[in-house]
Amino acid sequence: MRDLLSAALRRGLTRRSLVTGVGAAAIAGVTARPAEAAPGGARQWGNGHRTRLILLGTSGGPPWWPGTTRAGTASAVSVGDRFYLVDAGHQAGRQIRDARLGDWSHDTDGPLNALRAIFLTHLHSDHTIDLDNVLIEGVSNGLQRVPEPVQVWGPGNRGALPPLFGSPPAPPVTAPDNPTPGTAEMIALMVRAFATDINDRVFDSRKPPPSALFSGHDVPIPERFLADPNGNPHPRMSPVPFYEDDRIRVSATLVQHAPVFPALAFRFDTDDGSVVFSGDTGPSDNLIELARGADILVHEVMDRAWAEQLFPQPRDTSAEARFHHLINAHTTIEQVGAIAEAAGVPTLVLNHLVPGNRPEHTWLRAQRGYSGKLVVGRDLDILGIGPLAR
Ligand SMILES: [Zn+2]
Ligand SMILES: [Zn+2]
């Protein structure tokens, strides 16, 4: 099942030894400009590029991780004067502000006037919790000026509750009439939840209604891959294109984050180059296929040693099961380099760091098995894709 990955792992481990540091010069394949200093240690390699990847938040969740300033997972791809949001973890709204995306010439007209679409890899709260901030408060932060509604894309309805993990009795089901809503349903429910605020803004302040500002959509994964969410949540498939405008084309594939389903990875193709977001996943051949030929792979990563501390030895059967349940849904530091190697991407960017408060050198071990450029993501890092803008 993991043929691509295991072959790459064998090749990579014999060819490449551990390196200890990556500086600005190592990103020369991504950008022609040196990094510029920015508050908080963010690196602005992408200044001057038409197409840029901006890391808004780099920690996985849902813990807020004491001792770090990392925001929850969120990224932006900007192409010229527009940008697209990938996931909306905690503080995504604030990070859009601090990244100076969009228009800041007026207190209330930006920055979301430049936002064209949002892509949610899956509906775990650490990827969606700031969505209401962006969409509902958005009406006073530039969303009221979008030329057409911002499309919010993400996975559809899971179709079944996840299996009960551990021993009965089963806990109560939340919202039993529809316990696993998909993205389109979630956006509609969000509007209902904020109806008091929305009706005040619309009737009193004469703001545009939500239907003029945003719309929810389920990524159209073919039905045959969605048939068995509990038995086969990660069927082998090829990428499915589903979104296109005059700046970007976006494709999706299913990844391995069971029992979360559907869990998606996205590829953005632009005239300047391509960037792929893994979402949350264990090693996935679907992802490797999606990332082939891309310029940048943004991949989640987990410190296995942290998971081992959560479930210290000796483990009973239950603790052993919970430990494997956790690490099988994610990718460890030791695994991620081989994945980037198998995909043949020249730059690997680590985000969704779990735990989010480990020192940066912890993650540099991801270079093992990978011959390209490794970037341990920091909030507000900017990477250029393709040539400098003329
Ligand atoms: Zn996550
Ligand atoms: Zn998740």
The predicted-structure confidence for 323-362, as pLDDT tens digits, reads as follows 888 889 999 999 999 999 999 999 999 999 999 999 999 9
Give yes or no for residue 261 having a pLDDT over 80. Answer: yes
Per-residue pLDDT of 83-118, as tens digits, reads: 999 999 999 999 999 998 988 787 778 899 999 999
Give yes or no for residue 147 having a pLDDT over 60. Answer: yes
Ligand nearest to C-alpha 353: 1
Name the 3-class secondary structure at 74.
strand
In a domain, 369, yes or no: yes
pLDDT at 340: 98
In a domain, 167, yes or no: no
pLDDT (average), residues 303-310: 94
Per-residue pLDDT of 17-28, as tens digits, reads: 333 333 333 343
Task: Provide the pLDDT confidence category of residue 39 given band limits of 50, 70 and 90.
Answer: low
Ligand 2 mean position, distance from CA 260 (Å): 7
Ligand nearest to C-alpha 74: 1
In a domain, 170, yes or no: no
In a domain, 168, yes or no: no
In a domain, 169, yes or no: no
In a domain, 22, yes or no: no
Give yes or no for residue 37 having a pLDDT over 60. Answer: no
pLDDT at 328: 92
Ligand 1 mean position, distance from CA 14 (Å): 32
pLDDT at 231: 94
Task: Provide the pLDDT confidence category of residue 321 given band limits of 50, 70 and 90.
Answer: confident
Ligand 1 mean position, distance from CA 124 (Å): 6
Give yes or no for residue 14 having a pLDDT over 80. Answer: no
Of the candidate ranges 36-40, 121-125, 169-173, 353-357, the one whose mean pLDDT is the lowest = 36-40
Question: How far, in Å, CA of 64 to CA of 70, rounded?
Answer: 9
Of 35-39, 202-206, 320-324, give the range with the top mean pLDDT.
202-206
Phi, psi of 187 (to 5 degrees): -65, -40
Ligand nearest to C-alpha 58: 1
Domain count, the chain: 1
Question: How far, in Å, CA of 327 to CA of 304, rounded?
Answer: 7
Phi, psi of 53 (to 5 degrees): -100, 125
Query: Which domain covers residue 262, as residue numbers?
Result: 3-14+27-162+178-385
Ligand nearest to C-alpha 326: 2
Question: How far, in Å, CA of 210 to CA of 213, rounded?
Answer: 5
Ligand 1 mean position, distance from CA 127 (Å): 6
Averaged confidence pLDDT in the chain = 90
pLDDT at 103: 81
pLDDT at 33: 44
Per-residue pLDDT of 150-205, as tens digits, reads: 999 999 999 999 999 888 899 999 999 999 999 999 999 999 999 999 999 999 99
What is the value of pTM for the model shown?
Answer: 0.91
- The helix-helix angle for 3-15 and 333-343 (nearest 10°) equals 100
pLDDT (average), residues 201-224: 97
Task: Provide the pLDDT confidence category of residue 7 given band limits of 50, 70 and 90.
Answer: low
Ligand 2 mean position, distance from CA 124 (Å): 5
Give Cα separations from 255 to 205, 236, 252, 262, 361 (angstroms). Answer: 43, 9, 9, 8, 27
In a domain, 19, yes or no: no
pLDDT (average), residues 373-388: 95
Task: Provide the pLDDT confidence category of residue 5 given band limits of 50, 70 and 90.
Answer: low
pLDDT at 216: 98
DSSP helix, strand, coil percent of the chain (3-state; round to 5): 30, 25, 45
Task: Provide the pLDDT confidence category of residue 41 given band limits of 50, 70 and 90.
Answer: confident
Ligand 1 mean position, distance from CA 189 (Å): 22
pLDDT at 181: 98
Q: How many CA atoms lie within 13 A of 162 on its CB side?
A: 12
Name the 3-class secondary structure at 240.
strand
Ligand 1 mean position, distance from CA 61 (Å): 6
In a domain, 20, yes or no: no
CATH (domain of 37) = 3.60.15.10
Task: Provide the pLDDT confidence category of residue 136 given band limits of 50, 70 and 90.
Answer: very high
